[in-house]
């Protein structure tokens, strides 16, 4: 088949199933919502609108690769500040690509196995970059994932062609093994997946991956890495794209060896020789293999899809270790906040409160002194950003929970807003905007004895269990005080 004819057929099948527009939107959204022109709060808000994505970003930010950058990362805001915009963009892009394919392999063993190999290869690449001290580690991870995309596209959208490719590879392997057994020589005559793909479809796996990268408007460097040919024997990579492509191939080989149950892939001389050509030492290879094995063991217990579901299931009320979380949040905000403007500090502190108390949604309402009105300006959690303009109330007193909170010095907890004793104190504007919010916590931020802001958090439909201890309330007050101090630092001297 002609190369372009096959690619046209592949894109048509994606379009027929409705998958391509979804993935294209996700990738476009990554680049439009995460860029150097936006501030930390806007970027964090975009990521936090997807709970599963934000959990994965924080978990990956706490991997061994990033520990040396500044300790434990507990918020998306801190991840952006510590790791930088480019790393977060590539980290998010990698998660999105995996998420797209992760929704499809159900009841498809081949797709599930290919996805598992892609995940192990990505972890191997991430660990290699860490061991070598390479800052652009997530860029290499995205290239590694895209290297595997061609297999996943064929398995999911052109399964009949993939059957022919794998049959050709298996036949070549059997013939080579038989020849080697008869002659006492090493097995020969094997055909690689790439060669079989070109034989069956007239296009290589690398060319499919490159076409996908171009189609999905990924950066040119990533597309170029997909089409970088294997390095000739003894040659060194001369361009960054060549190095990225070679790392992707090395990671794929290593992942295949690990998933095949090979005890010590580092003893494989071709694998070690390829690693050394890429500027990696045996110790780098060993560390990366060990990290990839850890992920493989974890996936044996639970696949990545169920893990994401478990993460989402962690939502549901105040966590048991809320005090420790709050104390850590206060320490982080104090340490980082002194050098921040209020525009930077507010989202950092807000997200810290959200993480510490496990809110489903959290937003910050600011007082407009001239209009004498509080209005939501910043919010995290699914769907919150779309409702900010609905969250507003006058400063003048009305006997509802929001006005009571503005008069208080301590946080105000409403354990069940649907209880008959409390329901009539919940204003209509709040109930219409967030109809499922059962328990909510209102935290006043005071400057010169006037409430200038209100942190509002809820746990969705979950019932509030336990209580808010005096120590937890004290920590919450301290967190609010850091925002207050930020307002004072940002105010003109008087």
CA distance 339 to 330: 15
Tell me, what's the pLDDT at 493? 47
Tell me, what's the pLDDT at 311? 44
Is the confidence at residue 13, as pLDDT, over 80? Answer: yes
Tell me, what's the pLDDT at 308? 41
What ranges in 260-281 are assigned the alpha helix state H? 269-277
Question: Is the CATH number 1.10.760.10 carried by domain 3-157+192-312?
Answer: no
pTM score above 0.85: no
Higher local confidence (pLDDT), 408 or 311? 408
Q: Is residue 139 helix, strand or coil?
A: helix
pLDDT band at 81 (very low <50, low <70, confident <90, very high): confident
For strand 450-458 and strand 361-368, is the pairing parallel, antiparallel, or unpaired? antiparallel
Output the six-digit token pair for 76: 């998306």
Question: Mean pLDDT lowest for which of 96-105, 197-206, 278-287?
Answer: 96-105
Is the confidence at residue 51, as pLDDT, over 80? Answer: no
Tell me, what's the pLDDT at 310? 43
- Mean pLDDT confidence for 130-137: 71
Question: Is the CATH number 3.30.70.940 carried by domain 322-490?
Answer: no
Q: In sequence order, what are the residues at sequence separation of 6 or more whose Cβ sits closer than 8 angstroms to the Cβ of residue 297? A: none
**Angle CA(311)–CA(103)–CA(259) in degrees, nearest 5?**
85
Question: Mean pLDDT lowest for which of 70-74, 199-203, 467-471?
Answer: 70-74
Distances, alpha carbon 16 to alpha carbons 13, 20, 70, 112, 123, in Å:
5, 9, 46, 22, 32
For 386, what's the count of Cα atoms within 13 Å in the CB-facing half-sphere? 5
Output the six-digit token pair for 351: 């997200």
pLDDT band at 324 (very low <50, low <70, confident <90, very high): very high
Distances, alpha carbon 208 to alpha carbons 6, 149, 163, 275, in Å:
10, 8, 17, 25
Strand partners for 17? none
CA distance 29 to 151: 25
Tokens 């120590």 belong to residue = 471
Is the confidence at residue 152, as pLDDT, over 50? Answer: yes
Tell me, what's the pLDDT at 411? 96
Tell me, what's the pLDDT at 300? 66
Tell me, what's the pLDDT at 68? 47
pLDDT band at 404 (very low <50, low <70, confident <90, very high): very high
CA distance 146 to 326: 39
CA distance 385 to 391: 10
Distances, alpha carbon 14 to alpha carbons 10, 29, 65, 109, 335, in Å:
6, 19, 35, 20, 49
Tell me, what's the pLDDT at 481? 95
- Domain(s) of CATH 1.10.3210.10: residues in the chain: 3-157+192-312
Tell me, what's the pLDDT at 477? 96
User: For the chain, what percent of residues have pLDDT higher than 90?
Assistant: 29
- Mean pLDDT confidence for 327-333: 91
Question: Mean pLDDT lowest for which of 56-60, 261-265, 429-433?
Answer: 261-265
Output the six-digit token pair for 251: 């990671």
User: Could you please report the per-residue DSSP string of 361-402?
Assistant: EEEEEEEETTTTEEEEEEEESTTTGGGGGG-EEESS--SSHH
- Domain(s) of CATH 3.30.450.40: residues in the chain: 322-490
Higher local confidence (pLDDT), 135 or 440? 440
Buried b (16+ CB within 10 A) or exposed e, 193-229: bbbbbbebbebbbbbbbbbbbebbebeebbbbbbbbe
Output the six-digit token pair for 335: 């340490």
CA distance 99 to 118: 12
pLDDT band at 201 (very low <50, low <70, confident <90, very high): very high
pLDDT band at 259 (very low <50, low <70, confident <90, very high): confident
Is the confidence at residue 278, as pLDDT, over 80? Answer: yes
Output the six-digit token pair for 296: 């493989």
User: For the chain, what percent of residues have pLDDT higher than 70?
Assistant: 82
Tell me, what's the pLDDT at 181? 46
Question: What's the gap between Cα 401 and its chain centre?
Answer: 36
Query: Mean of the per-residue pLDDT values for the chain?
Result: 82
Distances, alpha carbon 386 to alpha carbons 5, 114, 357, in Å:
43, 37, 22
- Mean pLDDT confidence for 86-112: 76
Tell me, what's the pLDDT at 37? 60
CA nearest 444: which of 481, 474, 414? 481
CA distance 218 to 331: 39
Question: What's the gap between Cα 22 and its chain centre?
Answer: 17
- Mean pLDDT confidence for 46-55: 72
CA distance 88 to 137: 11
- Asked whether the CA dihedral 274, 279, 283, 287 is positive or negative, the reply is negative
């Amino acid at each position: 088949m002609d190369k372009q004819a096959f690619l046209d057929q592949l894109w048509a099948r994606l379009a027929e199933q409705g998958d391509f527009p979804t993935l294209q939107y996700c990738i476009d959204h990554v680049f439009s919502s995460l860029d150097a022109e936006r501030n930390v709060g806007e970027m964090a808000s975009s990521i936090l609108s997807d709970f599963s994505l934000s959990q994965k970003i924080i978990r990956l930010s706490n991997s061994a690769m990033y520990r040396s950058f500044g300790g434990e990362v507990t918020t998306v805001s801190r991840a952006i500040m510590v790791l930088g915009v480019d790393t977060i963009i590539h980290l998010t892009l990698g998660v999105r690509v995996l998420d797209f394919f992760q929704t499809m392999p159900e009841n498809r063993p081949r797709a599930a196995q290919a996805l598992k190999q892609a995940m192990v290869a990505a972890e191997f690449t991430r660990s290699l970059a860490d061991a070598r001290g390479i800052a652009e580690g997530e860029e290499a991870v995205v290239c590694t994932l895209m290297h595997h995309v061609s297999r996943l596209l064929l398995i999911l959208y052109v399964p009949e062609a993939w059957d022919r490719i794998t049959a050709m590879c298996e036949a070549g392997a059997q013939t080579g093994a038989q020849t080697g057994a008869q002659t006492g020589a090493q097995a020969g005559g094997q055909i690689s997946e790439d060669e079989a793909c070109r034989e069956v479809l007239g296009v290589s796996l690398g060319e499919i991956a490159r076409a996908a990268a171009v189609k999905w408007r990924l950066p040119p460097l990533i597309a170029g890495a997909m089409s970088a040919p294997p390095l000739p024997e003894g040659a060194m990579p001369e361009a960054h794209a060549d190095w990225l492509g070679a790392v992707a191939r090395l990671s794929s080989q290593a992942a295949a060896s690990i998933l095949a149950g090979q005890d010590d892939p580092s003893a494989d001389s071709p694998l070690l020789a390829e690693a050394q050509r890429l500027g990696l030492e045996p110790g780098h290879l060993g560390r990366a293999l060990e990290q990839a094995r850890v992920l493989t063991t974890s996936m044996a217990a639970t696949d990545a899809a169920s893990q994401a579901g478990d993460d989402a299931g962690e939502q549901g009320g105040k966590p048991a270790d809320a005090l420790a979380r709050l104390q850590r949040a206060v320490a982080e905000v104090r340490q980082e906040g002194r050098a921040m403007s209020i525009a930077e500090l507010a989202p950092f502190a807000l997200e810290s409160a959200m993480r510490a108390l496990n809110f489903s949604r959290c937003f910050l309402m600011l007082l407009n002194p001239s209009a004498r009105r509080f209005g939501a300006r910043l919010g995290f959690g699914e769907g919150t950003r779309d409702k900010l303009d609905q969250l507003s109330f006058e400063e003048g007193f009305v006997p509802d929970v929001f006005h009571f909170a503005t008069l208080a010095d301590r946080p105000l907890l409403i354990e069940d807003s649907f209880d008959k004793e409390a329901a009539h104190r919940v204003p209509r504007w709040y109930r219409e905007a967030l109809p499922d919010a059962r328990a909510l916590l209102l935290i006043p931020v005071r400057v010169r004895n006037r409430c200038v802001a209100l942190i509002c958090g809820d746990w969705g439909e979950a019932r509030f269990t336990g209580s808010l201890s005096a120590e937890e309330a004290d920590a919450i007050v301290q967190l609010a005080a850091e925002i207050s101090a930020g307002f004072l630092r940002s105010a003109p001297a008087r």
